[in-house]
Copies of this chain bind each other. A is one copy, B any other.
């Protein structure tokens, strides 16, 4: 474990296989960058046509190198790269990173190449990063083993978060944008095609690194979701946040990502739900990746403080703008406390009371700002202090930036944390803030996003342990099912095994009469049972609102007559007579296996609410009842069951329980899809009952 980590991030010896002797070439960059940034390990270029590369002795092959190699970066094209991987495998290089493209992402022969690459890795001890990887960088040690031009900059700022990126070109932009505001990342791994090791596998191995406080992920798809889940679970257990930026939120972006990754077209929505379900922060502002990582360093200090913000400003307009943006993210906002206000009055400072602490332009003076900020951060009722600075941030940092920095510096470790938002263009002040432990932001929007996240409950992820005993009944039922689509009675049996309540019902055979009396009370529903009719309602195969035996019998007769004509002989198995349960309203619960992220569970209101307003909660399955309650809380339409306009409350806990139980089907691989639509919601405490059930197994539809 630690062996892999050391070879990946802290190698003592590096082979650059295919490093060019021509300094203008891309493949000459890793050597140059490592030297520029003072990498202290040994570097061994491998080059078949030159004896020296960059003044170092070059070897004809990795096998000739007279030292143990911790990390090899293969800079050759696809086929020679494969040969080099084999050579590394032969001598047991622990980590091999591959730059070449022309693998799975390019289709055709590339797919075979990728298979071969995986084979080599599986038959040896080596761990392969890539292909299509622009390399690995560990900032503090100067191990900038990358072809990405951005790492040619002077100085390599470091930080505490590690970047895992599915796009190699983007790590440069992340370095560039964070460095511009005095931030940095600890390390960068361009995971490329993730042929062998991906975000999940690498992340899992690095979670325990005490120098890593969290991870930043630049994603366009999910490969091997189970590994990502394990990574997320261990990161949460270690208290290390994961922050992701997903490319492919739109349909257009997702199909572009699919064309690039060679993955199936999947829904960006499913990936978002998957990441959400794993408790991974997702940012909308690209720049917020670095800024949020930096902001989250305040989480610990906020734990003992109220989850609210106080905006203090020298610019009423700019302060108002931030206040408003925070309001849009439902951040709790509060003005100065009576206590603080009094303390300031005692030293001769009278701040106008209000929701915003506006010291005004006149207050943009060192002593005033310092007193106000000191008072606020030493006030035990303060949550987060948000300092919004006007033009002085750009032209006179001594008036409004320095006093904030000094106030924070002189405060004890128990003081309320501070973030800063300069309204004008003020990169210097932002750097000064960031370097003083006061997270600062380049745009109002990114500031609002980061502050909003900081002041929201931290996302959680505790994987559910499925109770397998409940599933043995399901498996027993499925043993007898050979067709893909189960009959409604079979589907109902599956759900009953999962403890879902069903209304009283009975089945009659195709030629059987309706019994008199029906052994339970009405009103009744009659449904045809046939494997040949996927949409019963469309062909008149469902009749509702039948109040007595006579009308049930009439409905069955009518179905027999009409369906008997249109359906093939023998395809109708019988008729289901169900009690039509009354309810306060309906919900829909769905389980399915997404081709990219795997099993998902959904819950919504059904109908217009789901189809037009897309008001549906989605999570990776299985989910605990607690998570299912969060899902239910997320569906806006369920407002109707929460005492909306004094209507009686619905049993949403029963609904959440059902969601959790059904989500356990994730552990029954044969089940491809399962749905209850509608699920009838009773009054609070009265449970929920399934009305229509559907289960589809793997295999032909």
Q: What is A's interface to B at a CB cutoff of 8 Å?
A: 26, 148-150, 152-153, 165-170, 172-173, 175-177, 179-180, 218, 220, 245, 247-257, 259-260, 284-287, 314-318, 320-321, 323-328, 333, 354-356, 361-362, 390-392, 394-396, 423-426, 443-446, 608-609, 611-613, 615, 636-637, 639-640, 644
Chain B min CB distance to A5 (Å): 25
Q: Which residues of B contact A327 (CB under 8 A)?
A: 249-253
Q: What are 23 A-B interface contacts by the 8 Å CB criterion?
A: A26-B361, A150-B424, A167-B316, A167-B317, A167-B318, A169-B390, A170-B318, A173-B317, A173-B318, A180-B425, A218-B317, A247-B317, A247-B321, A247-B324, A248-B320, A252-B323, A253-B325, A253-B327, A256-B320, A257-B324, A286-B321, A287-B443, A612-B636
Q: Which residues of B contact A609 (CB under 8 A)?
A: 608, 613
Given A169-B361, A253-B320, 4 additional A-B pairs, CB 8 A: A166-B317, A176-B425, A218-B317, A612-B644
* A316 touches which of B153, B169, B612 (Cβ 8 Å): B169
Q: Which residues of B contact A314 (CB under 8 A)?
A: 169
Given known A255-B355, A443-B443, contact A179–B425 (CB-CB < 8 A): yes
Q: Which of A148, A165, A611, A612 has the largest number of chain B CB atoms within 10 A?
A: A612
Say whether A286 contacts B444, CB under 8 Å: yes
* A423 touches which of B170, B252, B256 (Cβ 8 Å): B170
* A286 touches which of B177, B250, B443 (Cβ 8 Å): B443
* A153 touches which of B152, B252, B395, B637 (Cβ 8 Å): B395
Chain B min CB distance to A537 (Å): 12
Say whether A315 contacts B177, CB under 8 Å: no
Q: Which residues of B contact A252 (CB under 8 A)?
A: 323-324, 326-327, 333, 355
* A256 touches which of B218, B328, B356 (Cβ 8 Å): B356
Q: Which residues of B contact A325 (CB under 8 A)?
A: 250, 253
Say whether B173 contacts A257, CB under 8 Å: no
Q: Which of A169, A390, A612 has the largest number of chain B CB atoms within 10 A?
A: A169
* A323 touches which of B256, B356, B361 (Cβ 8 Å): B256
Say whether B394 contacts A150, CB under 8 Å: yes
Say whether A253 contacts B390, CB under 8 Å: no
Chain B min CB distance to A588 (Å): 15
Give how many copies assemble into the complex: 2
In the complex the two chains form, what is the Cα distance from A326 to B247 in whole Å?
11
Say whether A395 contacts B169, CB under 8 Å: no
In the complex the two chains form, what is the Cα distance from A568 to B284 in whole Å?
60
Q: Which residues of B contact A391 (CB under 8 A)?
A: 148-150, 169, 172-173, 176
In the complex the two chains form, what is the Cα distance from A326 to B249 in whole Å?
10
* Smallest CB-CB A-B distances: 5 pairs: A253-B324, A167-B317, A252-B327, A250-B327, A176-B424
Say whether B354 contacts A259, CB under 8 Å: yes
Closest to A445 in B: B285
Say whether B328 contacts A250, CB under 8 Å: yes
Q: Which residues of B contact A165 (CB under 8 A)?
A: 317
Chain B min CB distance to A403 (Å): 17
Chain B min CB distance to A512 (Å): 35
In the complex the two chains form, what is the Cα distance from A362 to B25 in whole Å?
10
Q: Which residues of B contact A321 (CB under 8 A)?
A: 170, 245, 247, 286
Q: Which residues of B contact A317 (CB under 8 A)?
A: 165-170, 173, 218, 247
Say whether A608 contacts B285, CB under 8 Å: no
In the complex the two chains form, what is the Cα distance from A70 to B544 in whole Å?
82
Q: Which of A167, A218, A394 has the largest number of chain B CB atoms within 10 A?
A: A394
Chain B min CB distance to A596 (Å): 16
Q: Which residues of B contact A644 (CB under 8 A)?
A: 611-612
Closest to A268 in B: B324
Q: Which residues of B contact A149 (CB under 8 A)?
A: 361, 390-392, 395-396
In the complex the two chains form, what is the Cα distance from A153 to B179 in whole Å?
25
Say whether B640 contacts A608, CB under 8 Å: yes
Say whether A443 contacts B285, CB under 8 Å: yes
Q: Which of A167, A251, A252 has the largest number of chain B CB atoms within 10 A?
A: A252
In the complex the two chains form, what is the Cα distance from A294 to B70 in whole Å?
52
Say whether A320 contacts B180, CB under 8 Å: no
In the complex the two chains form, what is the Cα distance from A257 to B316 in whole Å?
10
In the complex the two chains form, what is the Cα distance from A580 to B201 in whole Å?
66
In the complex the two chains form, what is the Cα distance from A446 to B286 in whole Å?
11
Q: Which residues of B contact A255 (CB under 8 A)?
A: 355
In the complex the two chains form, what is the Cα distance from A392 to B43 in whole Å?
27
Q: Which residues of B contact A218 (CB under 8 A)?
A: 317
Closest to A355 in B: B256
Q: Which residues of B contact A608 (CB under 8 A)?
A: 609, 637, 640
In the complex the two chains form, what is the Cα distance from A166 to B640 in whole Å?
41
Q: Which residues of B contact A285 (CB under 8 A)?
A: 443, 445
Q: Which residues of B contact A286 (CB under 8 A)?
A: 321, 443-445
Q: Which residues of B contact A316 (CB under 8 A)?
A: 167, 169, 260
In the complex the two chains form, what is the Cα distance from A484 to B637 in whole Å?
35
Say whether B328 contacts A249, CB under 8 Å: yes
In the complex the two chains form, what is the Cα distance from A249 to B317 in whole Å?
14
Closest to A320 in B: B247
Q: Which residues of B contact A260 (CB under 8 A)?
A: 316, 320
Say whether B320 contacts A173, CB under 8 Å: no
In the complex the two chains form, what is the Cα distance from A179 to B394 in whole Å?
12
Q: Which residues of B contact A394 (CB under 8 A)?
A: 150, 176
In the complex the two chains form, what is the Cα distance from A172 to B395 in whole Å?
11
Q: Which residues of B contact A637 (CB under 8 A)?
A: 608, 612-613
Closest to A179 in B: B425
Say whether B395 contacts A324, CB under 8 Å: no
